[in-house]
A and B are shown apart, each in its own frame.
Chain A
């Protein structure tokens, strides 16, 4: 009898299975992929032994895109079709890109109605999301080849200070690359995981992460496996690229090169600037040799003192966010146990010196600052993929920027303040302000400023069908929910009539769902796969999850938490799902899953409460022991 079969120990347990999972650091300058093998997290090299993949994509007619070193080699030869530092464009509008004041050597398509900047290449206009997807795809292939199988899921890291639009764009790129995203993880948090687990460090840590194009500072408390982000701040348009540019501009001045030099010439100058920067990490001065356009050569030298003068203003720009996080966390520099440096740009001795001065302690640099983020992501991916069910590591992260709503007069009312732990849900009530008002416009914004025009606009939608009432009688509840990836959904409801309107925020500069679908269809990988087949497979995967979870739940708690008749009812529903699970009818599977969800609703709630009770009980025992 099936009922016995389920409650018998051993038989219901799903066979142990190792799910292939990876952590991806999608960086401005370089990207990496890492995985946990035999309990050890490590980054994966390509065929030639390179762990870093330069985040550069080269497009050529009638050929697959080249990514990484091969693309880098094309940068000076074919600059308009070689895209680097695309991360700086993610989730940004063309206007943002132009006003950041940084000259980007690409051919942007002027496009009024689509906010996203498109770059003109020989293979057509490419969006930052598509270009990022090409980088992700290369890393995916590297991982799958090395591990010998398809990836179940990945954790992709993003700068902690990335806003909603930038996060959504990153997730879209992953979808486009055919990756299942287990989590978007903040880069400093990932670094803390790698670092904290390596050192088994407890206490309060500041993670200073200066990469190629982004800067983050996060303050975390580590206690018994829980990584609690207390506050975070940063600048998603500040990084090593800006240091290179500062040097390049100085060279141009010195060598008398005009501002409107050729794209390829500027590229070359940026390369020379970068090399000089790297040289100065270990030397007192760096020699410079510049080919001028008329064929002559300019020779010069960049001294350490001159270099420091050029970069100090940029380092200074990172200090204000450091001060702000401390304040938001309610701490002073004395409360910080350790400072950890992450990101390639922290290799500059001047950065270490200045940040050390600010925090009044020598920063830690003992884990390779290029790899530490990918390694942390791999550890989290391994856990989320279900390979370590007994691990007690837990990451509690926050939203970096306040989420608000436009109110009368173009003002912002904050609904969820920055540094609130996620997941979070908050609501705010509004009233109708005109007699007979039947609709209400809702404008979702992100940022710290008081005026809507100074914040980022995320989405606009309208609640319609409000029954006519006198002014002030309608009560509209607007609810914001941010999930564990930091992604927002907003809903609005008129409470007296129950009129409901909901939106998952697709920021103005992200892709619409149908666009993603279209791109997926266009990409070769999915061309042959029928949508129906995909739906069926998705239902089967979910059915598997439901069956395994339910069997495990019944085995663990069925006897204690269920009455006989409830047990029988659940068992019947389970039998029904087992019957259809291997069939080809996606709808039948879906219905059977829904039936199980219905009859196990109460059981699931009781189990959750039991685990809460258990957590508090364990605590009471601890308290008791401590008091004695």
Chain B
């Protein structure tokens, strides 16, 4: 019944969304369809409630995170974010950063500066994506999403390392 995840929350299809509105509408929808509201209903109705809730949860999870939201916008354009190849320059950057992290691990160096650099990179990519999506520049957005994905993974690895170091 819905053409896309945005419709569920009656939001326009856009990378820029109001997070509070999304969260508020999500909670209101859950109040209407959550299986707990059908705890005493017949099996069939409970299954239906479960299906709706799963659908709403999926849509919410996808939209609330900027990376998955961007990937989803590409998907709506028929672009698989995992397709294609990364440009050579960025591959070099990737390798350098991976090496840097390996070095931090090996020598037990402070990791805070590295982490905050990753966070800055991700924040600036969110701004870039916002412009690229507004201009419907899908190809550029595709590249940015894949860079975003790389920084997200690297950031996660760095956080895991930080946990080990503490």
Contact = CB atoms under 8 A, between A and B. Distances in A.
17 contacts: A228-B27, A323-B163, A324-B163, A386-B39, A395-B36, A396-B34, A426-B58, A542-B42, A545-B40, A549-B40, A549-B42, A601-B44, A604-B48, A608-B33, A612-B32, A615-B28, A619-B24
Contacts of B30: 226, 394, 396
Given A425-B54, A616-B10, A616-B25, A549 B36 contact: no
Interface in A359-413: 383-386, 392, 394-396
B29 A423 contact: no
A246 interface: no
What 8 pairs across the A-B complex have the smallest Cβ distances? A615-B32, A386-B40, A384-B39, A546-B42, A611-B32, A425-B54, A615-B28, A597-B44
Q: Is the interface of B mostly helix, strand, loop or mixed?
A: helix
B105 interface: no
Interface in B54-69: 54, 57-58, 60-61
Contacts of A549: 40-42, 45
Interface residues of B, number: 36
Interface of B: 1, 10, 21, 24-25, 27-37, 39-45, 48-50, 52-54, 57-58, 60-61, 159, 163, 166
B31 A394 contact: yes
A615 B29 contact: yes
B54 A423 contact: yes
B33 A612 contact: yes
A616 B29 contact: yes
Given A224-B27, A423-B50, 13 more contacts: A223-B27, A327-B159, A383-B36, A386-B39, A395-B36, A396-B30, A423-B54, A425-B58, A484-B36, A611-B33, A612-B29, A619-B25, A620-B10
Interface of A: 182-183, 223-224, 226, 228, 320, 323-324, 327, 383-386, 392, 394-396, 420-426, 481, 483-484, 542, 545-546, 549-550, 593, 597, 600-601, 604-605, 608-609, 611-612, 614-616, 618-620, 623
Contacts of B36: 183, 383-384, 394-395, 484
A540 to B, nearest CB: 13
Contacts of A228: 27
B35 A609 contact: no
B35 A484 contact: yes
Given A320-B166, A545-B41, A619-B25, A424 B32 contact: no
A615 B31 contact: yes
A612 B163 contact: no
B34 A394 contact: yes
A320 B88 CA distance: 38
Nearest to B54: A425
Nearest to B60: A421
A616 B50 CA distance: 19
